[in-house]
Each structure stands twice: as C-alpha cells, then as structure tokens.
C-alpha cells in the first residue's frame, strides 16, 4: 500500500469521526462501514488502524441506538486487540473502556461496572492513578454506579474524582466541572435536591466564566439545572429555563441535534408536570415525529418519546390511546434495549398503571406484581422505580378489594 493511499484512508477515518461528532450518524455509519472494510482489506484485520476504524464504527452504531451491533463490534475489537497489542496496552484499555460505555448505554449496568473496574485497575497499573485517562474511567464508573441505583457508591466516587481533578487540574478545569455536574446529578437521583440545586448553580456560573455561555457543556448543565428545579417543585422556573436552553441549543447546535431534542423532551415533561396538558401533548407528539425522522423509529430516544406521548395521553384521560401505544412498546423496548433495561421495566409499569387508571385493577395487579419482581431482580430493591411500582400496586390492590 502506498503512502498516499494510507493518507487517504486516514483522511476518510478522520471524516467518520467528524460525522460522529456532528451526530450525522447515517452518514457516519455508511462511511464507517466502507472505511472499516477497506482498512481490513488493505492493511489487514490486525493492523492498529483497522482496530481503531472498527472502534469508530462501533461508536456510531451505539449513538444510533444499534446497541447489539455496537457491543458485538466492540467485543471483537477488544478480543483482537488482546492478540495484537497485549492486555495492558493503553489502546486496548481504551477499547475496553468503550465497550463498557456501550454496555452502560444498553442498560447492562452490572456488566459495565465490572468492565470499568477492570479497565480502572489496568489504567492505574499502566498509566498511574493521576493520569487523565484513569480519572476519566473513575468518572465513568461512577456514572455506571449511578445508573445501577448504587447512589451512595456513585456519590463517594464522584467526590473522590472531583478532589483529584481539583488537585491536578484546578477547580475550574472543564473536566473538573463535568465531574461536579455529575455529582449534582447523583445528588438529585438520591433525593438530595437542595444540594443538587446549589451545585448545579455553582457549576453553571463557573462554566460561563471558563468555557463560555454557549459551550455545549454549559448548555448541558443549564438543562440539568432546569431538571432539578422541576424536581424541587419550582416548575415555572424549570419551564422558563428549559425554554431558554432550547432556544440556545437550536441556535448553537441546530434544531435536529440530539442535545436539542433532549431539552425539547424535558420541556414537554415540564409542561406535563405543570398540568399544561395541551402543550405537553403537542410538544411530545411533535418531538416524536422529529425523532423518528432524525434518529429512526427504533432509536432509544424515539422510543422514549413514544412512551412520553402515551404518558401525556394518560394524564389527559385518553387511556385507550395510551394503552394502545404502551403495550407494543414493551416488546419493542425489550428487543432494542433488553428485557431488564430500566426503560423496558418502566414501560411495563406504565402499562399496568394505565389499566389501573382505566379502572381495570384485576388486569393491573398481576402486571404490577410481575414488573415489581423483575425490577427487583434486575435493578435491586433500592432502585427508585421500585417505590413507584409499589405505590401504584397498593392503589390497584385497594381498588380490587
């Protein structure tokens, strides 16, 4: 292979990464599949550039919601890099970290935690405890612990990462600010609402001065601050902030960017919380159409919007329409995310709750009971969804009796 041909191949791989960064996932996957095939053919399947191009393609699959394809490809890259690079090579540790990311995104939290722990051990051994990649893995492990409902463990790890990043990078370094944002999110998940509000407000102030008002990280923290205002019952403030963040994300990122759509989703839920049902239904219905167009009808975010349309219908007492959406959605989410994913289990709860509200407790109670058992088995008895299921189960049992 000539040097010019290899430069051309590298340029195409760079283009794949730019498309992923721009969240043009259809183009990224189309080009990424061709680059991965060409790299393997021209350089060999075991060439380091072949491994990295396959890893890039797996990342595009992951962001596009193709979890099974992403995990399978990440696993093959990890296995091949073991043979080619050796177990402790920094690139192989990065590939294992990427696999853990994909496992967490697919809701396979226990597997993600085990993989992050293994990567962390390797990075401490090879790179040292203070290396930026080591700190990133600790932060990612804390994320996975939070996703698994192990909130005390997550909070303790975030606090330790913040202390080390502050010592090494400074309190206002962007990486430190990200960890502070994550700690505030964990506080919110743990019901420590006042602490979450205080920390999010401080992070927004620091991000504005360090990276700017329009930086995507600042916009993300403002979105999170609005969310925690809503959790604190400050719904009008939350809606106002969501509306501001949505306008800014449209201006900075574009109307179809996934981050913009996340804020749109949160605003629709804010309208629902405020009892502004017509606005909530319109926002959720419109967002569903946009996500189907931009992401596809089986992307996890699209499935979330479908669930939210049903929840809005349910709040408006349009129960038959809600059930008609939710019942098939359970099967679709089980196929896309897996039967033990929190979103799949929450949709099962939502079906049962819709039947409860439709005055069909005889149908709701067994649904609640089976969902409760599966949720306890999959997520643990301390997961926040458990309490919600138990509360609505008790209401259904009271109605049945």
How would residue 8 be classed by pLDDT, with cut points 50, 70 and 90? Answer: confident
Residue-averaged pLDDT of the chain: 93
pLDDT at 9: 87
Residue 59 pLDDT exceeds 90 = yes
pLDDT in tens, 94-116: 999 999 999 988 878 889 999 99
Asked if residues 400 and 356 have their Cβ atoms less than 8 Å apart, the reply is no
End-to-end CA distance of the chain: 77
Buried b / exposed e along 113-149 (16+ C-beta atoms within 10 A):
bebbeebbebbeebbeeeeebbbbbbbbbbbbbbbbb
* CA atoms of 322 and 310, how far apart (whole Å): 4
Residue 348 pLDDT exceeds 70 = yes
pLDDT at 88: 85
* CA atoms of 67 and 83, how far apart (whole Å): 25
Residue 371 pLDDT exceeds 90 = yes
pLDDT in tens, 269-322: 999 999 999 999 999 999 999 999 988 898 889 999 999 999 999 999 999 999
- Domains (ranges, CATH) in the chain? 1-64 (no CATH), 212-316 (1.25.40.10), 341-401 (no CATH)
How would residue 86 be classed by pLDDT, with cut points 50, 70 and 90? Answer: confident
pLDDT at 120: 97
Asked if residues 353 and 120 have their Cβ atoms less than 8 Å apart, the reply is no
**Burial class (CB within 10 angstroms; exposed 0-12, middle 13-18, buried 19+) of 55:** buried
pLDDT in tens, 171-207: 999 999 999 999 999 999 898 999 999 999 999 999 9
pLDDT at 1: 66
Sign of the C-alpha dihedral computed for residues 108, 114, 115 and 116 taken in this order: positive
Rounded to an integer, the average pLDDT of 219-237 is: 96
DSSP state string for 277-334 = HHHHHHHHHHHHHHHHHHH-TTSHHHHHHHHHHHHHHHHTT-HHHHHHHHHHHHHHHH
CB neighbour list of residue 73: distance below 8 Å, 6 or more residues apart: 54, 55, 57, 58, 61
Rounded to an integer, the average pLDDT of 326-334 is: 96
3-state secondary structure of 79: helix
Residue 3 pLDDT exceeds 80 = no
From residue 49, how far is each of 39, 96, 161 by CA, in Å?
A: 7, 16, 32
Residue 80 pLDDT exceeds 70 = yes
């Amino acid at each position: 292979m000539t040097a010019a041909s290899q430069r051309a191949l590298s340029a195409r791989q760079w283009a794949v990464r730019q498309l992923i960064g721009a969240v043009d996932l259809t183009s990224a996957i189309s080009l990424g599949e061709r680059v991965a095939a060409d790299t393997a053919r021209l350089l060999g399947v075991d060439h380091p550039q072949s491994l990295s191009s396959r890893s890039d393609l797996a990342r595009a699959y992951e962001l596009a919601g193709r979890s099974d394809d992403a995990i399978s490809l990440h696993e093959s890259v990890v296995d091949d890099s073991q043979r080619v690079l050796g177990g402790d090579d920094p690139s192989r540790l990065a590939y294992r970290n990427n696999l853990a990311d994909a496992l967490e995104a697919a809701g396979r939290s226990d597997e993600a935690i085990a993989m992050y722990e293994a990567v962390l051990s390797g990075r401490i051994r090879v790179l040292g405890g203070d290396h930026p990649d080591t700190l990133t893995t600790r932060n990612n492990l804390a994320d996975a612990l939070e996703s698994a409902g192990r909130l005390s463990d997550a909070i303790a790890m975030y606090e330790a990462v913040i202390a080390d990043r502050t010592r090494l990078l400074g309190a206002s370094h962007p990486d430190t600010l990200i960890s502070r944002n994550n700690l505030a999110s964990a506080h919110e998940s743990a019901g420590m609402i006042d602490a979450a509000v205080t920390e999010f407000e401080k992070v927004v102030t620091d991000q504005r001065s360090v990276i700017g008002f329009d930086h995507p990280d600042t916009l993300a923290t403002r979105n999170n601050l609005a969310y925690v205002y809503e959790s604190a019952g400050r719904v009008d403030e939350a809606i106002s902030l969501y509306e501001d963040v949505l306008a800014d994300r449209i201006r900075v990122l574009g109307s179809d960017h996934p981050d913009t759509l996340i804020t749109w989703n949160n605003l629709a839920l804010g309208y629902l919380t405020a009892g502004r049902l017509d606005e909530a239904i319109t926002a959720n219905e419109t967002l569903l159409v946009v996500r189907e167009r931009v992401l596809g009808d089986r992307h996890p975010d699209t499935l979330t919007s479908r669930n939210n349309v049903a929840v809005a219908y349910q709040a408006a007492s349009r129960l038959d329409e809600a059930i008609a959406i939710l019942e098939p959605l359970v099967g679709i989410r089980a196929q896309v995310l897996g039967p033990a994913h929190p979103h799949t289990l929450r949709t099962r709860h939502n079906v049962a709750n819709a039947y409860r509200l439709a005055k069909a407790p005889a149908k709701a109670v067994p649904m609640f009971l089976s969902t409760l058992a599966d949720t306890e088995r999959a997520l643990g008895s301390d997961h926040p969804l458990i309490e919600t299921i138990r509360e609505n189960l008790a209401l259904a049992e009271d109605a049945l009796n």
